[in-house]
């Protein structure tokens, strides 16, 4: 058997070019104060040896780590993975974040942290010390946890807060939840529905309130009453089923329902089937998330497509190119879209 080829390191490049490791690092990182002739010499050695810079080599200059850290909720993420029900939030985070990082010579690492843990500061602090990221992306509910945002601000680490518009440090970003809920409501009203129910998410997510506001705005603009048409769930299947049951058991039941997650909407679809209700002939449904599974339900679900990948990509771009300093005091808004499928139809009386 032939000998395994030895990996080319920054030390080989430095020796071949006859310069210090620090000089090679400066050339790799496109830093100033390196003479043009020296740059050419180092680049010629890199090309000759076929060297690919590692993160360790890039970090030698000490100015950057070339890592972006994304923090997601541990309990919910692990539950979604184990359930294997098609939830693709983390997939979309990776799609937007990893590709954008790669364009800038960065890497993205995802860490799972329990935001309700009493030791959250210690847990996150350990990750920050080990990785020394150039920026951090916080997703809900971490983005609104003052222990987490306070720790990052104290350490001077740039960060983006997805799903948070509260005043404070970091880049505030939203996926335009209020507008998304409103356009979903307006779509159902345009189909003749007057009893449009809404199933919100848990109160510890600000976006739950924003979505309620968007639904209310749509109903108010059409002059439709809605005092008894809002229920809450926890984004999970069982909570969606219970909330849908209450909306359908009203003396004047909802003829259309918007739910704040695909799992809650799938629960509504199953409940409707059990009650002999046809979707969309008897009941129209709209979901939030637009995960892969809703395309294969019967009927396929109309859904608000959450721009997760685009939002994470934008966050990465801001953290790398602007070092976490927003160009405006206003929250960065990345809007979603309503994807129309077979679960919506004209109201029976329309």
Tens of pLDDT, residues 197-244: 999 999 989 999 999 999 999 999 999 999 999 999 999 999 999 999
Please state the three-class secondary structure of the chain as a single string: CCCCCCCCCHHHHHHHHCCCHHHHHHHHCCCCCCCHHHHHHHHHHHHHHCCCCCHHHHHCCCCCCCEEEEEEEHHHHHHHHHHCCCCCHHHHHHHHHHHHHHHCCCEEEEEEECCCCCCHHHHHHHHHHHHCCCEEEECCCHHHCHHHHHHHHHHCCCEEEECECCCCCCEEEECCHHHHHHHHHHHHHHCCCCCEEEEECCCCCHHHHHHHHHHHHHHHHCCCCCCCCEEECCCCHHHHHHHHHHHHCCCCCCCEEEECCHHHHHHHHHHHHHCCCCCCCCCEEEEEECCHHHHCCCCCCEEEECCHHHHHHHHHHHHHHCCCCCCCCCCEECCCEEECCCCCCCCCCC
Report pLDDT for 52. Answer: 72
Common-topology check for domains 10-59 and 177-304: no
Comparing CA positions, the residue from 79, 76, 111 lying closest to residue 94 is 111
pLDDT at 94 over 60: yes
Q: Rounded to two decimals, what is the model's pTM?
A: 0.80
The region of weakest confidence among 44-53, 109-118, 202-211, 323-332 is: 323-332
- Integer CA distances (angstroms), 92 to 61, 62, 268, in order: 32, 31, 25
Fold (topology level) of 10-59: 434 Repressor (Amino-terminal Domain) (1.10.260)
CATH class of 177-304: alpha beta
In this predicted structure, what is the pLDDT of residue 66?
87
Angstrom CA distances, 252 to 197, 228, 277, 332, 346, stand at 11, 10, 15, 40, 17
What was the pLDDT predicted at 115? Answer: 74
Cα angle 116-93-262, degrees, rounded to a multiple of 5: 75
Q: Name the phi and psi angles at 63, rounded to 5.
A: -85, -30
Convert the pLDDT of each residue in 12-40 to its tens digit.
888 998 988 878 877 876 666 788 888 88
Reported as a pLDDT band with limits 50, 70 and 90, residue 1 is very low
- Percentage of residues in the chain having pLDDT higher than 70: 91
Task: Give the pLDDT band of residue 4 (cuts 50, 70, 90).
Answer: very low
Contact 306, 289 (CB under 8 A): yes
For the chain, give every domain's residue range.
10-59, 67-175+308-333, 177-304
> pLDDT (tens digit, 9 = 90+) per residue, 236-278?
999 999 999 999 999 999 999 999 999 999 999 999 999 999 9
Q: Tell me what pLDDT residue 105 has.
A: 83
pLDDT tens for 117-127 read: 778 888 888 88
**Could you read off the pLDDT of 171-190 as tens digits, one per residue?**
999 999 999 999 999 999 99
d(C-alpha 206, C-alpha 160), whole Å: 16
Q: What pLDDT sits at residue 330?
A: 82
Instruction: State the architecture of 67-175+308-333 in CATH terms.
Output: 3-Layer(aba) Sandwich (3.40)
Question: Would you give the distance in Å from CA 40 to the centre of its chain?
Answer: 41
Asked if residue 7 has pLDDT above 80, the reply is: no
Contact 209, 216 (CB under 8 A): no
At 2, is the pLDDT very low, low, confident or very high (cuts 50, 70, 90)? very low
In this predicted structure, what is the pLDDT of residue 58? 56
């Amino acid at each position: 058997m032939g000998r395994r080829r030895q990996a080319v390191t920054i030390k080989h490049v430095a020796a071949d070019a006859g310069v210090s490791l620090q000089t090679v690092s400066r050339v790799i990182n496109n830093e100033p104060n390196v003479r043009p002739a020296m740059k050419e010499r180092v680049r010629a050695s890199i090309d000759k040896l076929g060297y690919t810079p590692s993160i360790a080599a890039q970090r030698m200059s000490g100015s950057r780590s070339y890592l972006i850290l994304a923090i997601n909720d541990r309990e919910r993420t692990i539950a979604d993975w184990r359930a294997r029900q098609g939830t693709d939030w983390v997939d979309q985070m990776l799609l937007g974040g990893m590709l954008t990082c790669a364009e800038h010579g960065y890497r993205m690492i995802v860490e799972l942290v329990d935001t309700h843990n009493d030791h959250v500061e210690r847990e996150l602090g350990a990750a920050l010390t080990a990785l020394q990221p150039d920026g951090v992306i916080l997703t809900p509910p971490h983005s609104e946890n003052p222990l987490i945002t306070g720790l990052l601000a104290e350490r001077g680490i740039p960060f983006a807060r997805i799903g948070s518009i509260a005043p404070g440090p970091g880049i505030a970003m939203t996926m335009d939840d209020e507008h998304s809920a409103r356009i979903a409501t307006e779509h159902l009203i345009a189909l003749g529905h007057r009893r449009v129910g809404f199933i919100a998410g848990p109160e510890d997510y600000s976006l739950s309130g924003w979505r309620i506001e968007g639904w209310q705005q749509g109903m108010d603009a059409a002059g439709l009453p809605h005092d008894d048409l809002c229920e809450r769930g926890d984004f999970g299947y069982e909570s969606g089923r219970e909330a849908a049951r209450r909306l359908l058991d009203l003396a004047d039941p909802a003829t259309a329902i918007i739910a704040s997650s695909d799992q809650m909407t799938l629960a509504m679809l199953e409940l409707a089937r059990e009650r002999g209700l046809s979707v969309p002939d008897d009941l129209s449904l709209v979901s939030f998330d637009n995960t892969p599974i809703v395309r294969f339900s019967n009927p396929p679900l109309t859904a608000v497509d959450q721009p997760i990948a685009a939002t994470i990509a934008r966050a990465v771009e801001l953290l790398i190119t602007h070092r976490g300093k927003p160009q405006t005091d206003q929250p960065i808004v990345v809007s979603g879209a309503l994807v129309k499928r077979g679960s919506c139809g004209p109201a029976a009386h329309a």
